[in-house]
């Protein structure tokens, strides 16, 4: 049996195209691995933001203050210290509270590095009795966001 | 002679055909081995990053626990460090310097919070609240109620790849609600 040049050419093309296909298919798990690493890192960052929100909000709630839609968004770091994330954080806390409460907690404003992260927390005070309030519980929902990933911490407690 | 003629009459492969087959085979082996190596590298990278992340978790957890039960906090070095007293009243310092985060407890040897082989600290900023009061009778009147740490880290793999990790950590010290500072 004699193999013609046309057959060799066809065989070559077939192997080349098959190899290309195999390369593309086998590259998928590598890409997935890289994406997975990135997601693990991003989700860690989102979780730390959620934990921070929870820590601050629980401190406020223990001090008998009510926070609604408290948020911290560090999108404008650098430059004027009054525009630093720290100041924004403080202002947004204060805007939900009275001056007296505001004076009690003042964050030292220090310029920080650029991030595009957001902490949001909501707090609800639910009265469990009618008439005299003798007990209540506090529910904190803190959402840490980082690059499209969200970590939500839901925390209930009796102060 | 008859057997010799039958061999001559059989049509085998030419050298060119054989060369093409070997070339294609080598090409396929090369492709597969390259992909296999990439897969191994990605796996090693993931493992390295995971180890570094665990180290970051461990370090931040340690800092959180120590600060949570500490006393008399004072931010130093323009926000790149903090000095305080630990639960057992030992003077403790956490300070950022030379791309490392140092931890020193009393007269003990200074250690790093994160493994320098795995984690490079690009920046650390520590902020605390400053209660606006001149009252210093009770500890809770002047004690900071919240400490926020901004971390700008770089986790490293053994092959030299790096990835940035920027996050913050808030700690509300438990003892800041007490009237007496037990370490004074």
Name the closest residue on chain A to residue B152, using Cα atoms: A113
Mean pLDDT across chain B, nearest whole number? 85
Asked if residue B158 has pLDDT above 80, the reply is yes
Token pair for residue A32? 């997935």
Residue B147 resides in a domain: yes
Collect all residues of chain B within an 8 Å Cβ-Cβ radius of residue A44: 53, 56-57, 165, 167
Answer yes or no: do A112 and B60 touch at CB < 8 A: no
Q: Which residue do the tokens 């054989």 mark?
A: B18
Give B 9-48 residues with CB within 8 A of chain A.
Answer: 11, 13, 17, 20, 24, 27-28, 31-32, 35, 38-39, 42-43, 45-46
Tell me the pLDDT band of B53, cut-offs 50, 70 and 90: very high
Which residue in chain B is spatially nearest to A90 when comparing CA positions?
A: B129
Measured at the CA of B113, the angle between CA B109 and CA B116, to 5 degrees, comes to: 100
* pLDDT of res. B130: 65
| Banded pLDDT at B91 (limits 50, 70, 90) | very high
Confidence of residue A113 (pLDDT cuts 50, 70, 90): very low
Q: How many structural domains comprise chain B?
A: 1
pLDDT at B178: 84
The answer to whether the CB atoms of A12 and B24 lie below 8 A apart is: yes
Q: Most distant CA pair in chain A: distance in Å?
A: 102
Residue A127 has pLDDT above 60, yes or no: no
- Residue B72 or residue A67, greater confidence: B72
Predicted confidence band of residue A131 (pLDDT cuts 50, 70, 90):
very low
Give the pLDDT band (50/70/90) at residue A37.
Answer: confident
The reply to whether B162 falls in a domain is: yes
Place B101 in a pLDDT band, splitting at 50, 70 and 90: very high
Q: Is residue B184 part of a domain?
A: no
Helix (H, G, I), strand (E, B) or coil at B1: coil
The runs of H, that is alpha helices, within chain A are 5-62, 85-94, 99-104
- Residue B127 and residue A109: Cβ atoms within 8 Å? yes
Rounded (to 5) percent helix, strand, coil in chain B: 40, 30, 30
Q: What is the model's pLDDT at position A157?
A: 66
- Residue in chain B lying closest to A15 (CA): B24
- pLDDT value, residue A63: 57
pLDDT > 70? residue A100: no
pLDDT at A116: 32
Query: Tell me, what's the pLDDT at B59?
Result: 95
Residue among B39, B165, B166 whose CB faces A29 most closely: B39
pLDDT of residue B99: 92
Helix (H, G, I), strand (E, B) or coil at B152: strand
CA distance readout (Å), A18 to A26, B25, B156, B181:
12, 12, 37, 74
Note whether residue B152 is domain-resident. yes
Do the Cβ atoms of A128 and A158 come closer than 8 Å? no
**How many Å apart are CA B128 and CA B82, to the nearest integer?**
10
Chain B residue with Cα closest to A53? B170
What does the pLDDT average to over B121-138? Answer: 78
**Band (B20; pLDDT cuts 50, 70, 90):** confident
Return all residues near B113 (Cβ < 8 A) that are at least 6 apart: B59, B62, B63, B94, B101, B102, B103
The mean pLDDT value for B46-54 works out to: 90
Could A30 and B123 be called an inter-chain contact, meaning their C-beta atoms sit closer than 8 Å? no
- Please report the pLDDT score of residue B183 as a whole number: 86
HSE-CB at B59 with a 13 A cutoff on CA atoms is 24
d(CA B122, CA B100): 8
What's the confidence (pLDDT) of residue B94?
94
**pLDDT tens per residue, range A80-99:** 333 344 444 555 444 444 33
Residue B49 class from Cβ within 10 Å (0-12 exposed, 13-18 middle, 19+ buried)?
buried
CA distance A5 to A20: 22
Ranked by mean pLDDT, the top range of A59-63, B118-122, B166-170 is B118-122
Chain B positions touching A11 (Cβ under 8 A) are 20, 24
**With bands split at pLDDT 50, 70 and 90, how would you rate the model's confidence at B6?**
low
Where does the pLDDT of residue A2 fall: very low under 50, low under 70, confident under 90, or very high at 90 and above? low
More confident residue, A14 or A148: A14
- Chain A residues close to B35, C-beta within 8 Å: 22-23, 26-27, 30
Between these two residues, A98 and B63, which has the higher pLDDT value?
Answer: B63
Are the C-beta atoms of A117 and A124 separated by less than 8 Å? no
pLDDT (0 to 100) of residue B4: 55
Report the pLDDT averaged over residues A8-31.
80
Residues 92 to 151 of B: which have CB under 8 A from any A CB?
122-123, 125, 127-132, 145-146, 148, 150
Give pTM, 2 decimals: 0.71
């Amino acid at each position: 049996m004699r193999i013609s040049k046309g057959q060799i050419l066809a065989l070559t093309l077939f192997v080349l195209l098959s190899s290309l296909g195999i390369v593309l298919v086998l590259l998928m798990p590598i890409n997935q691995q890289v994406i997975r690493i990135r997601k693990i890192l991003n989700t860690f960052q989102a979780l730390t933001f959620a934990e921070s929100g929870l820590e601050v909000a629980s401190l406020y709630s223990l001090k008998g203050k009510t926070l609604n839609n408290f948020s911290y968004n560090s999108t404008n770091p650098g430059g004027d210290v009054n525009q630093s994330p720290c100041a924004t954080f403080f202002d947004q806390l204060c805007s939900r509270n009275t001056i007296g409460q505001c004076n009690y907690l003042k964050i030292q404003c220090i310029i920080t590095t650029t991030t595009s992260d957001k902490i949001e927390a909501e707090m609800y005070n639910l009265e469990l009795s009618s008439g005299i309030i003798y007990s209540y519980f506090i529910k904190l929902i803190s959402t840490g966001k980082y690059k499209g990933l969200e970590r939500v911490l839901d925390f209930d407690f009796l102060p | 002679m008859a057997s010799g003629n039958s061999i001559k009459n059989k049509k085998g492969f030419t050298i060119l055909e054989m060369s093409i087959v070997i070339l294609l085979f080598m090409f396929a082996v090369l492709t597969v081995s390259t992909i296999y190596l990439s897969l191994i590298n990605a796996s090693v990278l993931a493992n390295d990053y995971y180890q570094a992340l665990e180290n970051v978790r461990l370090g931040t957890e340690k800092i959180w626990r120590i600060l949570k039960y500490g006393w008399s906090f004072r931010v130093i070095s323009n926000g790149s460090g903090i000095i305080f007293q630990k639960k057992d009243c030992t003077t403790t310092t956490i300070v950022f310097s030379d791309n490392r985060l140092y931890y020193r407890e009393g007269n003990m040897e200074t250690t790093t919070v994160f493994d320098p082989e795995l984690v490079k600290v690009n920046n650390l900023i520590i902020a605390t609240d400053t209660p606006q009061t001149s009252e210093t009778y009770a500890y809770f009147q002047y004690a900071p109620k919240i400490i926020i740490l901004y971390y700008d880290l770089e986790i490293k793999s053994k092959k030299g790849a790096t990835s940035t990790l920027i996050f913050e950590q808030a700690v509300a010290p438990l003892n800041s609600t007490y009237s007496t500072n037990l370490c004074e």
